[in-house]
Chain A
Amino acid sequence: MSRLSKILMQISGILFIILLWELATGVFHVFKWIVLPPPTDVFMAMLAMALDGSLFVNAGWSLLRVLLGFIVAAAIAVPLGVAMGWLPEISYVVDPIVEVIRPIPPIAWIGLALLWFGIGINSAIFLVFIGAFFPILLNTIAGVRNVEKRLVEVAYTFGASDWSVLRKVVMPAASPTIYTGLRVGMGIGWMCVVAAEMIAVRFGLGNMILEGSNLLQTDVVMVGMITIGLLGLAINYIFQVAGNYMFKWQQGIGRAVA
């Protein structure tokens, strides 16, 4: 199948749903507007919010918060994960703590977040941090533990120090797995920021959805949801493209020499 026809088929599915939606709402009025406004209304609302800038302000706040929380999570989880993966002693001490805290859903931290940081950006950053932290940590540990032993040995035969082995062998070998952790962490962080914005902070896409819901502006609610979906898709895509470039040395990507 050609690339073009594949793309056309992918688009046709979405178009079909939108068409069905328009027919059900705009033409046959199967649903009340407040339950499901027609896609054209949602689109017009989106256009209006883009033109008056409010969409970008809210999206910008969400992106900023997710980015800050993500950076803090990565800055702590990657070094900790490397230490835990490389030195079993550290892992013995930290593992139980991690295993106790990990099953608590990020949303359950909202209560503490409000008590610790109050209403404001810090609460949102904290929730993103909690959401992104564990996938990054667990993938980093797994990446470091699964480094092939013979690659480490071969480095030692060149007289490498432990520090050199860590820097020149373990880190690059584990980097694709760590990167997967970052990508998953970012995805979860994106979910957490929306939840935080519904409760703990003003502005942002989550806040926009909640306010729209309170004012019975179903079109605004849907604009918020669609924007969140599209931005999540875009973030994931950027991660994917950057990853393919950074890890082109991996088997399967790139051409084989005959």
Chain B
Amino acid sequence: MSNDIRIVHVTKEFASNGRSMKAVDDISLDIKDSEFICLVGPSGCGKSTLLRMIAGLEPVSSGEILMGDKKITSTSPKIGFVFQEYTLFPWRTVEKNVEFGLELKRLSPEERARIASKYLDMVGLEKFKDSYPHQLSGGMRQRTAIARTLAVNPEILLMDEPFGALDAQTRNILQEQLLEIWHKEKKKVLFVTHNVDEAVFLADKVIVLTARPGRIKEIIDINIPRPRVRTETEVNKVRNAILNSLFEEVRKLSDH
């Protein structure tokens, strides 16, 4: 497909106190069709930085990121981003939040309302379309944020620990909902998490990054059919493999 994302030898260095520090080191990765990929790694391994570079929020130091055969140099509605923190616009109702990207595309009010309604329905928030963000629970806010991102029909969904601030039950429900949506919308998803359970439940492919600077340590394909049962033997086996791989990296961090 022509809209595959290709990350080619991407490196990111930050300057701090006059010294340059490598956050991401020579990462190459293709995201095809409607793959669901999870990135896991110890904290500070550059997962978020990688996501921000793909989104065009942060320039690469070297290497390149392509969508199809076009280089990504700035933000674009084709690349959707869902942040960990709550990022709804507090002065807009749920519905108007979802319409934000559609306004930028200069769609008519009727068209905006129609699309917003479709995605609010998909995340189960039709009833709350006139509420303001401060009236919603954390889970509802993130569902609204997901609807807002989906509404502009991006090629890929970049998700930076979107459920990180939620309690365990809400998190499980949102994971299931996200898979349903993904199944319907057939989008590429690149999902950053530090929760291995989450990665195993969601992903086609889990990428383990090394401790700083972030390099790809291991790519683990998960061929378990969905819906996956969190306690199944197969699921546990994959989870243990990832946990062991990750643990080595975390230990490296604490040895320093």
Contacts and interface: CB of A to CB of B under 8 A. Distances in A.
Nearest to B102: A158
B77 interface: yes
A197 to B, nearest CB: 39
A159 B56 CA distance: 10
A103 interface: no
A104 B184 CA distance: 65
A155 B83 CA distance: 12
Interface in A183-211: none
Contacts of A249: 90-92, 132-134
A156 B75 contact: yes
Nearest to A159: B77
Interface string A243-258: 0000111111011110
A150 B135 contact: no
Interface in A158-198: 158-160, 164, 168-169, 172-173, 175
B104 interface: yes
B246 to A, nearest CB: 27
Interface in B132-153: 132-137, 140, 152
Main secondary structure of the interface of B (DSSP, over half): loop
Given A151-B87, A154-B81, A159-B76, A254 B100 contact: no
Interface of B: 55-57, 75-77, 79-81, 83, 85, 87, 89-92, 100-101, 103-104, 128, 131-137, 140, 152
A interface bracket (residues with beta carbon within 8 Å of B): 20 to 34
Contact of B104 (A164, A175, A247, A248): A164
A154 B87 contact: yes
B57 A157 contact: yes
Contacts of B134: 249-252, 254, 256
Contacts of B56: 157
A158 B152 contact: yes
Contacts of A257: 128, 131, 135-137, 140
A251 B91 CA distance: 10
Given A164-B104, A257-B131, A156 B57 contact: yes
